[in-house]
Every structure is written in C-alpha cells, then in structure tokens.
Amino acid sequence: MNPNAKGRHVVVRTIERAPSEVAEKLGAVGTATVHEAIGRRGSLGVDLHPIQQDVKVGGTAVTVLSHPGDNMMIHAAVEVCQPGDVLVVATTAPSTHGMFGDLLATSLITRGVRGLVIDAAVRDTADLRAMGFPVWTRHVSVQGTVKATPGSVNVPVTLGGVAISPGDVICADDDGVVVVAREEAEWALDRSNERLAKEEATRARLEAGELGVDFYGLRDRLVDLGVDWIDD
C-alpha cells in the first residue's frame, strides 16, 4: 500500500532507485527515442517546458507532493536526495506559484542532484541557467510561497497524467520529460539502443532518397484504406 495511504503525510527516507548509470544513459539517448522504445509511454505531455536549451538529463526520481503555493516539502526533500537524482515536484491542486529558485538549486547542486521537474512554477530562471541547473516546469513566476501546509516526500505522484514512483528514471531534454519505471530501466535501455541503431539505418536510407511511404510499406496500406492518388 502507498506510504501515504489514508491521507498520512510522510517523508520516506530510503527508496530503491534504478541504477544511476542506466538512468544517465537513458537521459543521453533522448526522450523521443526512449518513449518510442518502451511502447510510446511515459511522456509527461506538452505543458512542461525546459527553461534552457540543448540540455539532456537522466536521473532517478525523488518525488514531492506539495500543497500548492507552499514549498515546505521541497525543503524537506533536499536531505533525502542523492547524487544522480532528479527532483520531481507535484502539487495537490494546480499551482502557478514560483515554488523553486536559486537558493533551493544551490542546495540541490551541493547534493549532486541533476535537475528539477515541477508541475508548478520556478523563478530566478536567469540565475538557474547561469548556475547550469536544468529545470522543466509548467510556468515561470516570481509569485512566492508560504511554508505552512504538510505534504509528502517519496510517495507515488502523477505529473502530466503519468504516474511516477520514487526511484523511477526521469529523462528530460528539449522535447519534454519521459518517465521509465524503475523495474523497466535496463529493458528500456536495451530497447532504446536497438532503436537508435534502427533509426541510424533508416536515416541513411532516407538520405539516399528512399521514401518512408515505401520503406514502411505504407503504400499498400493506404490503398487498402481507400486512399486514391489523383492528378488534379
């Protein structure tokens, strides 16, 4: 049963994590390929944007479930973070508050955390970019928060319609964020590497002028589906 069943508030100190080096490699593969490799799952959707460009991250999730407009539980989460983690912040209701800024990033950097994914807002974005701390967020806002309402750390959360458990792999880059279940991490890396090889071969054929419509066998399928080629 979930550690926060029956409305209990908890900070779970010890979690099982996907292997750090597998998480890092999945991050390097890139979100689009990983997402395809594992069966088109795990995308956190179109509303979580990077605040920087040309950065790829892979790490293991430490999760936070906060009251909106209150960042007390993010502070509580810092000490359970380890090198290789990515902090993942969900809220119990939609929030546009700037719940995270350069001071929290300073703390996380000292602990080796690789980045932040937050379903609310961040601030100090110019500083965060200058510090090289990567962030994916729904909003940017200066709006400050209080520290008054309890929540939980390292319980299952959902962001962008996807369930995330502590220790899952978070991959994030310019295209968004993809989560890979902890138990599927190695399998996902194998599948991703297969796909990378296949994409490389496809690219070579396309550069040589072959057409995807032939390549993927779509021409017959289109005919079967009743598509006509006409010269207007």
Q: What residues from 102 to 141 belong to the interface with a copy of itself (CB under 8 A)?
A: 102-104, 106-107, 110, 121, 123-126, 139-141
Interface with a copy of itself (CB under 8 A), residue from 19, 82, 96, 195: 96
Give the chain's length. Answer: 232
Instruction: For helices 20-29 and 185-207, give the axis angle rounded to 10 degrees.
Output: 20
Closest separation in Å from C-beta 165 to a copy of itself:
10
- Show contacts with a copy of itself in window 193-222 (CB under 8 A): 199, 202-203, 206-207, 209, 211-213, 216, 218, 221-222
Size of the site for a copy of itself (CB under 8 A): 107
Which residues inside 6-25 make contact with a copy of itself, applying CB under 8 A?
6-15
Question: What residues have CB less than 8 Å from 197, skipping those under 6 apart?
Answer: none
Among 112, 147, 190, 194, binds a copy of itself (CB under 8 A): 147
Q: Is 154 in the site for a copy of itself (CB under 8 A)?
A: yes
| 57-66 and 152-153 beta bridge pairing | antiparallel
The SS3 call for residue 162 is strand
Q: Least separation, in Å, of the C-beta of 87 and a copy of itself?
A: 13
Place of tokens 């926060």: 4
Cα–Cα distance, 4 to 6 (Å, whole number): 6
